[in-house]
Amino acid sequence: MFGFIGYFIYCIVVKKDKALYVLLAAAYVTGAEVFLRMTKAFIFYETGKYAVMFFVLLGILYMGFKKNAISYLVYILLLLPGVLVSLNAIAYDANFRTTVLFNLSGPLCLTFAAIFCYGRSIKLEDFLKVLDFIIYPLISMVVYITLYTPNIQEVVIGTASNSELSGGYGPNQVATILGLGVFILFARLLIPYKNILVHWVMMFLMVVMAYRALLTFSRGGVLVSLIMCLAFIFIIYFSTGLKTKAKISVKVLAIIGVALLVWGYTIIQTGGLIENRYANEDALGREKEDVTTGRVDLLAVEIDAFKENPVFGIGVGQGKFQFREEMGITSASHNEISRMLSEHGMFGILAILVLIFAPMVTKLNGRKNIYFYPFLIFWFLTIITTSMRIAAPAFIYALCLLNIDYAPKKKPALHRK
């Protein structure tokens, strides 16, 4: 961790193309964050988000930001009343950093990353390089998980999310980041790497990531990845010529075949329990009452909290103390939208509207970004299933705001004698 942070600080300070190195640094941290937590290679739990904030702030210091990015300052300012409410309501023995900053680290990370990316242009080849820097630490994580995993048949005894098959760490976060990796590499199937060997190695890694994501038994990250892939196919299919459409169709049919093989192999490895998991059944094949695994109860509690405190909310981090514990629910919120409603009230609603409409305005203003809708889908579906526990939804949201320059490199003119 200290090695790559030191390396990227050096690159940002010394290299000329500072904007690119800021994005590469933030991308690498985004991909590495879950692996750092898994191996306890961090200073404190939220190191990943703060590292992303540090790099983009360094970029803003060197390069400034566009005046239209002020909408994201408005977003974070709208969350301040909730902080003030929590300062009055916070339990005397509660830690401010773990109670308040734990919930605000995600929004802060999104704010700074969005301010840096808003209105900036980047060449397609550089943008793809940024996405590759998310993949590199994921390769390390997949190798680690594969080596760390015990005998699959011995640890798969039910249909609940399985930490033993997730590197000994949270299945939700592992599935989310692996699902993102699967999508990025799937997109590179349609926009291939120039080096044929690199291309097929990456495609193999995509299959391995998909397999490991399924083995976590956490459905959210896998389903979000699938929706992103479908959205990307739709976008690229209807924005290309007939010849390219034919190539895409062949590749999509091939990947469907591979996906079915991976699914079948996973069913065999898990004794059919993965099939039960996605059918919302227990190990005996009985249908579970709650397909959301308790998330509906959390949502109901947070909606009640909003109804009781509709203007300023109950305060950042106070849901756990004031409402969830009273209902016998000890887990933290899984839905960032409902959390903002309960803890920030009407100000939370306004903040959500800023996040939804600000990127749409950039799109309407002619910003070109073929990844815009898949990445926006990832941000929205991730924050309503696993909240903003990791930096990925914040940074991926920021990448939506970039304008991609698709112009090919100009070849040097030949000089006549």
Reduced to 3 states, what is the DSSP secondary structure of residue 3?
helix
Q: What residue spans of 15-170 are helical by DSSP H?
A: 18-38, 47-63, 70-78, 80-89, 96, 102-117, 124-148, 152-155
Q: Would 308 be classed as within a structural domain?
A: yes
Question: 89: exposed, middle or buried (C-beta count within 10 Å: 0-12, 13-18, 19+)?
Answer: middle
Q: Would 391 be classed as within a structural domain?
A: yes
How far, in whole angstroms, is CA 78 from its chain's centroid? 23
Number of domains making up the chain? 1
Do residues 142 and 165 touch, judged by C-beta distance below 8 A?
A: no
Q: Would 35 be classed as within a structural domain?
A: yes
Q: Would 415 be classed as within a structural domain?
A: no
Do residues 117 and 398 touch, judged by C-beta distance below 8 A?
A: yes
What the block records as the tokens of 114 is 């969005």
Q: Would 413 be classed as within a structural domain?
A: no
pLDDT in tens, 270-282: 999 999 888 888 7
**The one-letter amino acid at 387:** S
Print the domain residue range for 272. 2-405
Average pLDDT along the chain: 87
Q: Which long-range contacts (CB under 8 A, 24 or more apart) does 285-294 make?
A: 293/160, 293/161, 294/329, 294/331
Q: CA-CA distance, 285 to 273, in Å (whole number)?
A: 9
Do residues 375 and 397 touch, judged by C-beta distance below 8 A?
A: yes
**290: alpha, beta or left, given left = phi > 0 and alpha = psi -120 to 50?**
beta
Q: Would 175 be classed as within a structural domain?
A: yes
CA-wise closest residue to 103 among 301, 336, 294, 313: 336
Q: Whole-model pTM? A: 0.91
Q: Would 417 be classed as within a structural domain?
A: no
Q: Would 110 be classed as within a structural domain?
A: yes
User: Residue-wise pLDDT tens for the chain (417 aa)?
Assistant: 999 999 999 999 999 999 999 999 999 999 999 999 999 999 888 999 999 999 999 999 999 888 889 999 999 999 988 888 877 766 544 566 667 777 888 999 999 999 999 989 999 999 999 999 999 999 999 999 999 888 888 888 888 888 888 888 989 999 999 999 999 999 999 999 999 999 999 999 999 999 999 999 999 999 999 999 999 999 998 888 888 889 999 999 999 999 999 999 999 999 999 998 888 887 777 777 666 556 677 777 888 888 888 888 888 877 665 555 555 555 566 788 888 888 889 999 999 999 999 999 888 887 889 999 999 999 999 999 888 889 999 999 999 999 999 876 655 554 444
Do residues 182 and 224 touch, judged by C-beta distance below 8 A?
A: no
